[in-house]
Homo-oligomer: A and B are copies of this chain.
Amino acid sequence: MFFASDNGAPVHPAVFAAMERANAGYALSYGNDAATDALRDRIRVVFEAPTAEVLLLTTGTAANALALALLTPPWGTTFCHRHAHIAEDECGAPEFFSGGAKLTLIDGPHGKISPNALEQAIAQTGGSVHVAQRGALSLTNVTEAGTLYTAAELSALTAVAKAHGLPVHLDGARFANALAATGATPAELSWRAGVDVLSLGGTKNGLLAAEALVLFDPAKAWEAELRRKRAGHLNSKLRFVAAQFEAWFSNDLWLTLARHANTMAARLATGLAQVPGAEILHSTPANIIFARLPEAAHARAKAAGAVYYQSDDTLGRLVASWSTTEDDVDALLAAFKS
């Protein structure tokens, strides 16, 4: 009954198998190998973006912070939701990588920014030499609240950004879950919706440690590579990161795993509706649920061995993963109810 985070789940066996296949013999290090080249090409195909540049990384924080450093100058500000991962969970990595750029925090219900709120936030910045200059827009899909932006919603937001000349970053730590939930294509939820740089997360969806920074506009690719190296994020045996992604994309494993996680969360949400005193905070199309539950229900679940985060006495965050089983869900629900 582990619902603490999808990054506490094990690695999918196919990923180990792919890494072991990649372990045959020698290969030039630092990404100068055939496997890494092939994976980059594969991502271009998956995203229907033949000129995109792809940098492999091992953490989502590195991907996000690198992206923002590329898009926002040190004297700029990145517009993001108040509870974005880049704002709340990265210990200032965006500020570090960017040389001190700001984040302008935008409020919005259910973890989402509205075009109006974005427009207002932008209107209050820029102009004189005394103030932070307009940098980038950073969105997150699936959001930190477990909600979704549809392709149309993304487009409406990026249109506001573009009208002011701002480039757009998407934190896709759970991009596969968003694809599975919306049925959209990778292109539709990224560059076709106005995203310039995507942090494509694999680690929360079955991989060991694999993230990709996808630059749909390759103009800053060399700068990105220098920033990656300089941040200590150019792994030497990069073929093993490529191998993880290769397994992920094969037979659409990434979508299968994400769909499963979403399905398990949906089962959990459905069951929670029958738990006395339970209240689900947001819609739950993906694999994250925020729910208020009576203290006694939390106590029973913990006593039964459930692992998940609580923000306060009643608010819990429950995350399903590729390896969550129906039995896990049902056991948790039973503990909440009994």
Q: Assuming the A-B contacts A19-B16, A91-B75, A240-B208, are A231 and B29 also in contact, with contact meaning beta carbons closer than 8 angstroms in the complex? A: no
Determine if B65 and A92 form an interchain contact, defined as CB atoms under 8 angstroms apart. no
Q: A93 — which chain B residues lie within 8 A by C-beta?
A: 229-232
- Name A66's closest neighbour in chain B (CB-CB): B232
Is A2's beta carbon under 8 Å from chain B?
yes
Determine if A89 and B23 form an interchain contact, defined as CB atoms under 8 angstroms apart. no
Q: A19 — which chain B residues lie within 8 A by C-beta?
A: 16, 208
Cα-based distance from A235 to B226 in the complex (angstroms): 21
Chain A: interface size category: 35 or more
Q: A227 — which chain B residues lie within 8 A by C-beta?
A: 75
- Name A103's closest neighbour in chain B (CB-CB): B102
Shortest Cβ gap from A197 to chain B (Å): 15
Is A90's beta carbon under 8 Å from chain B?
yes
Q: Assuming the A-B contacts A96-B74, A234-B59, are A90 and B7 also in contact, with contact meaning beta carbons closer than 8 angstroms in the complex? A: no
Determine if A233 and B95 form an interchain contact, defined as CB atoms under 8 angstroms apart. no
Is A303's beta carbon under 8 Å from chain B?
no
Q: Specify which of B26, B130, B323 is in contact with A90 (CB 8 Å cutoff).
A: B130
Is A58's beta carbon under 8 Å from chain B?
yes
Determine if B95 and A95 form an interchain contact, defined as CB atoms under 8 angstroms apart. yes
Is A209's beta carbon under 8 Å from chain B?
yes
Interface residues of A (CB under 8 A from B): 2, 4-5, 7-11, 13, 16, 19-20, 23-30, 57-66, 73-75, 88-93, 95-103, 129-133, 203-204, 208-209, 223, 225-237, 240, 307, 323
Shortest Cβ gap from A199 to chain B (Å): 11
Determine if B237 and A59 form an interchain contact, defined as CB atoms under 8 angstroms apart. no
Shortest Cβ gap from A234 to chain B (Å): 7
Determine if A92 and B59 form an interchain contact, defined as CB atoms under 8 angstroms apart. no
Q: Assuming the A-B contacts A4-B28, A75-B226, are A232 and B90 also in contact, with contact meaning beta carbons closer than 8 angstroms in the complex? A: yes
Shortest Cβ gap from A43 to chain B (Å): 20
Residue of A66, A102, A130, A228 contacting most chain B CB atoms (<10 Å): A130
- Name A7's closest neighbour in chain B (CB-CB): B236
